[in-house]
Structure 1
Amino acid sequence: MTQFHPVPSRYLTGLIGRDIQASLSPFLHESEADAQGFRLVYRLFDLAAEGMDAGDLPRLLDALQLAGFAGVNVTHPYKQAVIAHLDELSPQAAQIGSVNTIVFGDGRRIGHNTDVQGFAENLRAGLPSGSQFRKVVQMGGGGAGAATAHALMTMDTGTLVLFDPNTDRVRDLCVSLCSYYGEGRAIVGQDLSSGIGEADGIVNATPLGMVGYPGSAVPRDLLRPDLWVTDIVYFPLETQLLREAKAAGCVTLDGSGMTVHQAAGAFEHFTGRHADPRRMAANFRAALAD
């Protein structure tokens, strides 16, 4: 006899990170569940606010799993650190070496990455038709940067030039990217001025610009009108980088689209139900306007 498993009508989910009190992820997920007629509770686990750090991840994950959470999102700076505490990775998360979504089920923790699709969808929808990707400069090679780098490769970026203060990390990322997409497709940046001088676009995949991390990863005097510039940060929606890029005449793209599309992917992992990205985007913009 086939055993019947009812679809849950209530889900517990959340977000693990640092300095995330301004996150709109709870609203994004909860409002989408409300629109579909079921209950989803999304909690913030701000390790900075709780006086915790990466060493507390194992017991936090244990507690969430025992409490019956369907899963959690993971954000800066734990997208790579959390991998050691999971039982399994999806093929894409393993390829990238970064996890932004964990699903709990059958006593196991499975890591996924929805950032790649989220970032690629934002570029496709947000940049003008005909935007060039012959050479792209990316600032940051951490967990989010690994995802955006893989997304840029799927967008047929000719050469991706990566800058990060952690040279070992960015070198390892380049080796990984070249093994998947072809030798020479990703290189470690040596000089930011010359790198941007030859680039079609710039990606900020660092936390610089978000609440709690003021500043810009790119000096203002390196920006010029023929560049497109995008930021993964969404709070504030206009970061210092985007504000200065807009003043320089660049095409700019904020991080809201990536946030919405990655959230839609995570929502499906948590609930098994498709999200409506257009509805989520409208709700997101409305919340930002309040």
Structure 2
Amino acid sequence: MTQPRYLTGLIGRDIQASLSPMLHESEGDAQGLRLIYRLFDLAADGMGVEDLPRLLDALQLAGFAGVNVTHPYKQAITAHLDELSPQAQQIGSVNTVVFSAGRRIGYNTDIYGFAQNLRAGLSPDARFGRVVQMGAGGAGAATAHALMELGVGELTLFDPAQQRAQELAAALNAVHGAGRAIVGDDLPASVAAADGIVNATPIGMKGYPGSAIPQPLLRPALWVTDIVYFPLETQLLRDAREAGCATLDGSGMTVYQAVRAFEHFTGRAADPQRMSRNFRAALKP
């Protein structure tokens, strides 16, 4: 019997350290699938956002089942797809593209991944009255919608691109209820009133050193989570732990979003516990 074969990959920039190939290929091996997962690092290949249509054409022609998309192309990729899932259309951000019957269909599995990570990783009595989120880009759109669905009362967005934050706040309020999302202008005051903090920026990632939140603003009553997983302990999480905060790293979001992406690529359910064990093992020095 011929072993099922799937060509998949990841489009992004500066992604050589990504563990996505290991995550998907090891799950494929465990299920008896021949799954190949390639990195398409546009920085390493001397390419840019203008090359996305050509790259998608090539992947589709080569018979790829689909690709994941990461920073900084989650929003730009949407213009080159034939169809978006309702969630992807809602937030204008795609992290998974499936090639099917000559069409390119965009999904967003980050919403599910982030929400599942919070459900599994935070205390059941964690408060979600007020949350501060740093970042309003493609990943930030996903985490913000997930926070709304988890019942956050007021989400305060901060982003260097003020207009981007305003557009995301307007989109969130249109879908989830007026006034629930606002754009912040006073970070110390917002953090002082918050129950939790989300870093949805690349700050803290290898190549983007530092922390999105100044350490003096942190206090024990906060929970703090970061979408970055490389390194697993970012400067923000280190500062938060030292301040006595409950902390949650980005590994769970990465695993859970990959679980959903694997299902889109192969049509088979993935095992989140197995994928998490493999991920954690790969992160050990």
- The TM-score, its normalising length taken from structure 2, stands at 0.98
Q: Does 1:284 align with 2:279?
A: yes
Choose from 146, 151, 155 the match for 1:160. Answer: 155
How far residue 7 of structure 1 moved from its aligned partner, in angstroms, is: 9.3
Report the CA distance shift for 1:64/1:8 in structure 2 as closer, same or farther (over 3 A): farther
Matched residue type, 2:19: L
SS in 1 for 2:238: helix
Which residue of the partner structure matches residue 4 of structure 2?
Answer: 9
Matched residue type, 1:276: D
Which residue of the partner structure matches residue 181 of structure 1?
Answer: 176
Which residue of the partner structure matches residue 71 of structure 1?
Answer: 66
**2:210 and 2:247 mapped to 1: Cα distance?**
17
Q: Deviations over 1:60-109 (max 9, x none)?
A: 11111111100000000000000000010000100011000000011110
Matched residue type, 2:94: V
Which residue of the partner structure matches residue 34 of structure 1?
Answer: 29
Moved over 4 A (4+): none
Q: Does 1:133 align with 2:128?
A: yes
**1:166 and 1:56 mapped to 2: Cα distance?**
24
Which residue of the partner structure matches residue 96 of structure 1?
Answer: 91
Q: Deviations over 1:228-262 (max 9, x none)?
A: 00000000000010011111111000000000000
**2:156 and 2:147 mapped to 1: Cα distance?**
11
Structure 1 residue runs without a partner (length 5+)? 1-5
Over aligned residues, Cα RMSD in angstroms?
1.1
How far residue 51 of structure 1 moved from its aligned partner, in angstroms, is: 1.1
**1:8 and 1:108 mapped to 2: Cα distance?**
25
Give the conservation status (yes or no) of the 8 Å contact 2:3–2:34: no
Which residue of the partner structure matches residue 245 of structure 2?
Answer: 250
SS in 2 for 1:212: coil
Q: Deviations over 1:98-156 (max 9, x none)?
A: 00000001111000000001000000000112000000000000000000000000110
Matched residue type, 1:111: G
How far residue 13 of structure 1 moved from its aligned partner, in angstroms, is: 0.2
Report the CA distance shift for 1:7/1:143 in structure 2 as closer, same or farther (over 3 A): farther
**1:240 and 1:8 mapped to 2: Cα distance?**
44
Give the conservation status (yes or no) of the 8 Å contact 2:130–2:194: yes
Which residue of the partner structure matches residue 228 of structure 1?
Answer: 223
Answer with 6-15 or 258-267: which moved more. Answer: 6-15
Give the conservation status (yes or no) of the 8 Å contact 2:3–2:32: no
Which residue of the partner structure matches residue 3 of structure 1?
Answer: none
Which residue of the partner structure matches residue 197 of structure 1?
Answer: 192
**1:201 and 1:12 mapped to 2: Cα distance?**
39
Paired-residue identity, %: 73
**1:202 and 1:35 mapped to 2: Cα distance?**
36
Report the CA distance shift for 1:185/1:16 in structure 2 as closer, same or farther (over 3 A): same
